[in-house]
Structure 1
Amino acid sequence: MTFPTFISTQTEPRARGKELGTHRRKEIAANFAGYTDLFAVAGAAPGQVRAWGEQALDRGAAWAPHLADEIAGIAAGAGLEPWQVAVVNARTEILAAIDAVGEGECSTSVVLPGAGAPPRTVQTWDWHDHLRDAPMLWELEPRPGHVVRTFTEAGALAKIGISGAGLGVHFNILRHDSDSADPGVPVHLIARRILDEAATVEEAADIARSATVSASTVITAVTATEAASIEISPAGVAVIPPEPGGVLLHCNHFLDPALAVGERHATERPGTYVRFQHLREHVEGLADDDLTTRAHAMLSHGPDQAPVCAHPDPQEPINQRWETLATIGLDLPAGRLRVHQGGPCQVTEATWQTF
């Protein structure tokens, strides 16, 4: 099983968006419908979702007009309204506005081995199982000669990815007391601008600091020689460097001491701490130069062990059914993503998709 791929030929934002929307019309509409169902189960009325989507689009347009143009193009190609595509891009902000929470979520590992060896990265991407058909791989060229490849959801401008500047990003959701129901710049747009514009961790952090946000996330930026987890919240942005030995781990709780005071996710769903401890205990495997070995080092199932590899309980409502939908590594020297559809328990050497 592999994820669908799309390679843009258009370079102007609105035209690029329309091209994507036209070719992925069915998938984008289905993704919007899936999020509409998720927000309804979590307690949001359709009119409120539309208002949040429109506000997120306005905030995103003020911060990055060209990305708002791309969203408008996607909508035109997919036969949707711009606010509907904005809802897909602002799903983190809408979930924060609803104050939704769940047990699942992602685990990320980056190891910088030094001595000229490339970074060893891997993450799990957990999300709701009724949205398992949403992911896609997208290649685009935001400016001449600068190629971006991203694992994202149909209609979303970016998520996990790598750029021709030699910078890659991993992506985990966070929750903070300062998160609000007043949507700001969508964090998925921040990830996209980092991939489009940044060549260093410092530049990535500066882009994050320039956005006024309403929801929290962590974007782990990696280059050939450096890495940092950029924790983003309405209360501020913190940059977490690797530990001694070049080890940088992140799950779904804040590591910055000041921001951790306002931690929300882990206070209600402490499994993130158990997952983090599992990563710590398996650093040797996570530092291996073989991606399959790194993925297997992540393998752990709840409830008896850390729930790094998630499988949904069909008896739960859709907002509480979590599944590890992808396992992903960054191949920085090649400028490629390596993606497995599913969790670490299903990874073999033959199941990697190189993009």
Structure 2
Amino acid sequence: MSINFHHSDERDPMTRGRIIGERWREAIHGTAKDYDWLFEAAELDRHTVRTIAEQGCELLHGWAPELAGELAGVARGAGLELWRVAALNCRTEILVRGRIAGLKECTAAAWLPPGEPPRALQTWDRIPSISNFTVLRHTSPEELTVTWDGERADGWLEVAV
């Protein structure tokens, strides 16, 4: 297993995403191929995957426009269509529609220490064949340190401290 690290002081989400996409282009393309295989194994056609990914992207834009901008930047930097990168981020929502709907992916937790900011954690269970692991770190506009880590710069563990 390889572990990659990326720290960014870039505050503009679109620019930060583009830089991530450019730097981790090969890994992101590899992950997209891995999930193409998994979606196909789940008997999900490309139209279904694209529709769910685009819906997820729309919802993300309404909920957190800065994250949607970062996702668009990643797609631009990696040279992928936006829906392809969105499909990586919506993979749980996509996979539950397929033949292997029993596949479990997400684990989440929150810690609310008295008198301190809350800390949230979300991680995805791994596909055993994926051995490239990426950790990304930046400071949000709200001055929170955000660390994302996951297989190849797409499935991220997010911790705000």
Same fold by TM-score, threshold 0.5 exceeded?
Answer: yes
Pair 1:125–1:88, CA change in 2 (3 A): closer
Q: Which amino acid aligns with 1:130?
A: S
Q: How far apart, in 2, do the equivalents of 1:106 and 1:61 lie? A: 21
CA deviations 1:188-208 (Å, max 9, x no partner) are xxxxxxxxxxxxxxxxxxxxx
Q: TM-score, normalised by structure 1?
A: 0.38
Deviation at 1:105, TM superposition (A): 6.0
Residues 2 and 131 of structure 2 are in contact (CA less than 8 Å); yes or no, is this contact kept in structure 1? no
Larger Rg: 1
Residues 49 and 94 of structure 2 are in contact (CA less than 8 Å); yes or no, is this contact kept in structure 1? yes
Matching residue of 1:47:
47
Q: Which amino acid aligns with 2:41?
A: V
CA deviations 1:191-234 (Å, max 9, x no partner) are xxxxxxxxxxxxxxxxxxxxxxxxxxxxxxxxxxxxxxxxxxxx
The percent identity for this pair of structures is 31
Task: Between the two structures, name the one with larger relative contact order (CA 8 Å, sep ≥ 6).
Answer: 2
Q: TM-score, normalised by structure 2?
A: 0.80
Residues 137 and 149 of structure 1 are in contact (CA less than 8 Å); yes or no, is this contact kept in structure 2? yes
Deviation at 1:48, TM superposition (A): 1.7
Residues 50 and 87 of structure 1 are in contact (CA less than 8 Å); yes or no, is this contact kept in structure 2? yes
Matches within 5 A, 1:53-64: 53-64=53-64
Matching residue of 1:129:
128
Q: Which amino acid aligns with 1:33?
A: K
Does the residue aligned with 1:129 lie in a helix, a strand or coil? coil
Matching residue of 1:163:
160
Pair 1:145–1:108, CA change in 2 (3 A): closer
Matching residue of 1:101:
102
Q: Which amino acid aligns with 2:137?
A: E
- Is residue 90 from structure 1 mapped to residue 90 from structure 2 by the alignment? yes
Q: How far apart, in 2, do the equivalents of 1:126 and 1:50 lie? A: 22
Matches within 5 A, 1:100-249: 100-102=101-103, 126-133=125-132, 135-143=133-141, 145-156=143-154, 158-159=156-157, 161-164=158-161
Q: Which of the pair is proportionally richer in helix?
A: 2
Q: How far apart, in 2, do the equivalents of 1:27 and 1:38 lie? A: 16
List alignment gaps of at least 5 residues for structure 1: 115-123, 165-355
Q: How far apart, in 1, do the equivalents of 2:39 and 2:12 lie? A: 32
Matching residue of 2:117:
none
Q: CA RMSD in A?
A: 3.0
Q: How far apart, in 1, do the equivalents of 2:127 and 2:84 lie? A: 19
Q: How many residues align?
A: 152
CA deviations 1:75-110 (Å, max 9, x no partner) are 0100111111100100011012226223x7678899
Deviation at 1:45, TM superposition (A): 0.8
List alignment gaps of at least 5 residues for structure 2: 114-122
Matching residue of 1:12:
12
Pair 1:2–1:110, CA change in 2 (3 A): farther
Does the residue aligned with 2:44 lie in a helix, a strand or coil? coil
Deviation at 1:144, TM superposition (A): 6.1
Matching residue of 2:72:
72
